[in-house]
Structure 1
Amino acid sequence: MKFTNHSLIAKGYNMGPYYGLIISVGFLRLMTIGAIKNRKNRDDIFVVAVCILTILLQSFRKNTVGIDLGMYIPGYELSGQLPWFSPVFNFEIGYRVFCKVLYMIGVSQQLFLGIVATICQSSVFMFIRKHSKFPAISIVIYLTFGLFTFSFSGLRQMIAFSIALFSYDFVEKKEWIPFCVIIGVASLFHTSVLVFLIVYPLYYWKFPKNTVIFMFPVFIFEILFGNMVVALMVTIYKQTDYQAENTGAYEAFLMYSLVWIAAELFMKYTNEYNAYRNYLLIGALVQGLGLYHSSVARVGYYFMFFICLVLPQTIADICKDDWKLRFCITSALVVCCFIFFNINTGSGYLNVSPYIPFWED
């Protein structure tokens, strides 16, 4: 989706606040490394600091920064003003009740955006802190590879995703009942989160070593005939308002596919990392169909997120103890992150750029 608000285009694409946030990740990492010897305390302080900056950036944005806010802001007001459980747009009941409660206690539209940002970003950063051995790199990837940009716009789905992340601990513990309960709660905010249920079996699924060879034809098939698959899906579900169309998101599909292939070839095997690879494969496959339908691509965010954990660990496994090679590859990765972020978000995707603070007209 391209940015078309000509009044804002006249002001230029203001990406400065986003770049400032990303640069602050490196600055805070260097500061904490130099000042704090205990690694756990150092990582805790670092992640919390970046999380707070990220929340503030989202909280202080104008209610035009995020294309879906044109629906969510009026929807917040309607949910608060109408009787309990009244239908509002296509909002799920959990989200409507959430809005109703906040409206009743006097939460303004701006504070509402801040509360949503706090819920979503805190969950993501907490997950990264707990599961990533390289939180700084994981955070840079998260901020630049699509999901962060999406969180400015897709409020319901992002809340559902942030809730679903809490279910992951029960996957590791093989406790499927609380896992399903949490996903059920998340679905009250966005029903698409039900696809996250496959995270449980995929955690334990072991693909054969030659999976890469078999997946090449699948990827090629999606590129060539994905439009037919999407058109069939639309027909089956009788979604006459939706049609298959080329979204042009080839860069994202190529990126996720290549990262999965690299992880499959070089990442060391553990149950946890095997699960991350499996999730990333699903994300790549979904993104392949997302080339022909933006709604399909949005579902892929539930799985693409794990690239934040897969990519840093793959680099570490490739480089092993060669810190010079790791530095070079990591530096190249950061450059690629900036380039991808500039192409994706800087083009006006989801009206997230230009960034406009709420106090500006």
Structure 2
Amino acid sequence: MIIYWSACFLSIALTWLVTRSYSIKGHEIQGRVYWFIAILLAALPFIYIAAVRYNVGADFQSYYKYYLRILGGRRYNVFTGLFTRERGQYEILYYLANLLIASLKLSAPWMLGFTVILFLMPVYKRIFDDSPYPCMSIYLLMAMGYYCYFLNGTRQMIGAAFLMLSIPFIEKKKFVPFLILVLIATGFHTTSIVFLAVYVIAYVNISVKAITVVTVIMFVFGNAFGSIANNFLSGLEYYSGYLTSSYAQRGQGYIVLAINIVLVAFATIYYQKDNKLYQIYYDIQVLALWAAALTGKIVLVNRYTITFGLFSIILVPMTLSGIKDQHTRRILGTAVIILCFIYATYTIGFQNSNTVLPYQTFWQAGIIQ
């Protein structure tokens, strides 16, 4: 895991540097070009190791071979008189991203680099704008496993990243740009469309007590909800195949469930009722908990645990920043850092979650690109 922690700490150092440079200037810099470069620089270590990796991530070969097919396979369309590349099984925007890089005749690492940029740039943008402790958020991106999950579930995490970009539009009640970003996210991964519900939930003003009651109901009647949902999904052509696959045999992830319970409890204890942005992130974390509670009961619902859970890398620092007692804030902040380090070491280092170990590059594998 040395390669991942090295990239993480280097990214943290670069983040500290660009934000410190910003404050040293003594005046506000509004230039979008500056912040684009600053975000890109801060994310660069993570971008690099994702771009040059080979056979790292459980789904690496699927994505790699898909790009090679698009890069090399061409089919003549008699109606348009043009050569086209088959889209295959993936969503339209992911296909177009592959097609764009392939049209430039670039090798696979360029495609891998482009996809990790599509993931990290929106995530870092939200971190820089919303997180009171950007360095902690970047640490949590790695320590909570989301970066390594991207190396496997690339399309899903790109979708989740664009969903993060929609947060300001929820806060400002601008539905059209929010909808556009959700549709872009859905263009990378179909499951992102469910995020439309977040806009409604954010303005229904559900009380914490009501959320607690619904959460208890979710746990008590989870099996019944699962049976109803799976019966519905069996009628959908896309999902029906998953009901008889290994995905349907996956049980409850108790560690992930416990983490989500702790996160919601922590955010509830220090709930910021006068902070609308905090409430939005809180509601999304509750959705992650509900999805975790239904994991093992509804096929593929664990994907929502991950998609919604990504937002916790900002919610946790926001919660800590709202704790008035400095001593308590430091103790809890230290506990978060240590516990997440242990979690990452166990799940990634020992269990090899998402098959991201051993890490190797194209050159180490003897493949010249």
CA–CA separation in structure 2 for the residues paired with 1:196 and 1:241: 21
Q: Which amino acid aligns with 1:258?
A: V
CA–CA separation in structure 2 for the residues paired with 1:110 and 1:77: 11
Which SS does the other structure have where 2:243 is aligned? Answer: coil
Are 1:107 and 2:98 counterparts? Answer: no
CA–CA separation in structure 1 for the residues paired with 2:338 and 2:228: 35
Q: Which amino acid aligns with 1:342?
A: T
Aligned partners of 1:204 and 1:275 also within 8 Å: no
Q: After superposition, what is the alpha-carbon deviation per residue over 1:13-53, rounded to whole angstroms, capped at 9, x for unaligned? A: xx111122334356557767888646978xx7986543111
Instruction: Return the offset for 1:230.
Output: 5.9
Q: Which amino acid aligns with 1:51?
A: A
Q: After superposition, what is the alpha-carbon deviation per residue over 1:44-84, rounded to whole angstroms, capped at 9, x for unaligned? A: 7986543111111212211x101112111111122332343
CA–CA separation in structure 1 for the residues paired with 2:301 and 2:337: 28
CA–CA separation in structure 1 for the residues paired with 2:352 and 2:225: 26
Match of 2:209 in 1: 210
5 Å-filtered alignment, 1:67-146, equals 67-80=58-71, 81-83=73-75, 84=84, 86-88=86-88, 90-146=89-145
Which SS does the other structure have where 2:234 is aligned? Answer: helix
Instruction: Return the offset for 1:229.
Output: 5.5
Aligned partners of 1:140 and 1:337 also within 8 Å: no
User: Higher RCO, 1 or 2 (CA under 8 Å, sep at least 6)?
Assistant: 1
Bigger drift between 69-78 and 287-296 goes to 287-296
Aligned partners of 1:234 and 1:240 also within 8 Å: no
Match of 1:24 in 2: 10
Match of 1:313 in 2: 318
CA–CA separation in structure 2 for the residues paired with 1:331 and 1:159: 30
Which SS does the other structure have where 1:210 is aligned? Answer: helix
Q: Which amino acid aligns with 1:328?
A: I
Instruction: Classify 1:294/1:349 alpha carbon distance in 2 versus 1 (closer, same or farther; 3 Å).
Output: farther
Match of 1:338 in 2: 341
One of 285, 288, 301 as aligned partner of 1:296: 301
Bigger drift between 334-343 and 297-306 goes to 297-306
Instruction: Classify 1:216/1:166 alpha carbon distance in 2 versus 1 (closer, same or farther; 3 Å).
Output: closer
5 Å-filtered alignment, 1:32-47, equals 37=24
Aligned partners of 1:204 and 1:271 also within 8 Å: no
Aligned partners of 1:227 and 1:245 also within 8 Å: no
Instruction: Return the offset for 1:158.
Output: 2.3
Match of 2:78 in 1: none
Instruction: Classify 1:274/1:137 alpha carbon distance in 2 versus 1 (closer, same or farther; 3 Å).
Output: same
5 Å-filtered alignment, 1:179-190, equals 179-190=178-189
One of 311, 324, 329 as aligned partner of 2:327: 324
Q: Which amino acid aligns with 2:219?
A: I
RMSD: 2.9
CA–CA separation in structure 1 for the residues paired with 2:253 and 2:39: 30
Q: Which amino acid aligns with 1:338?
A: F
Q: Which runs of 5+ in 1 are unaligned?
A: 1-14
CA–CA separation in structure 1 for the residues paired with 2:19 and 2:127: 18
Q: Which amino acid aligns with 2:63?
A: Y
Instruction: Return the offset for 1:222.
Output: 6.3
CA–CA separation in structure 2 for the residues paired with 1:138 and 1:217: 29
Instruction: Return the offset for 1:280.
Output: 0.5
Q: Which runs of 5+ in 2 are unaligned?
A: 30-34, 76-83
Q: After superposition, what is the alpha-carbon deviation per residue over 1:144-194, rounded to whole angstroms, capped at 9, x for unaligned? A: 213212111222222223333333332233221222223223322221111
Instruction: Return the offset for 1:246.
Output: 3.4
Instruction: Classify 1:231/1:209 alpha carbon distance in 2 versus 1 (closer, same or farther; 3 Å).
Output: closer
Q: Sequence identity, in percent?
A: 21
Q: After superposition, what is the alpha-carbon deviation per residue over 1:96-145, rounded to whole angstroms, capped at 9, x for unaligned? A: 22212211211101111111112211111111111111111111112221
Aligned partners of 2:130 and 2:314 also within 8 Å: yes
Aligned partners of 1:123 and 1:163 also within 8 Å: yes
Instruction: Classify 1:33/1:121 alpha carbon distance in 2 versus 1 (closer, same or farther; 3 Å).
Output: closer
Which SS does the other structure have where 1:356 is aligned? Answer: coil
Query: When the two structures are superposed, what TM-score results if normalisation uses the length of structure 1?
Result: 0.83
Aligned partners of 1:256 and 1:283 also within 8 Å: yes
Query: When the two structures are superposed, what TM-score results if normalisation uses the length of structure 2?
Result: 0.82
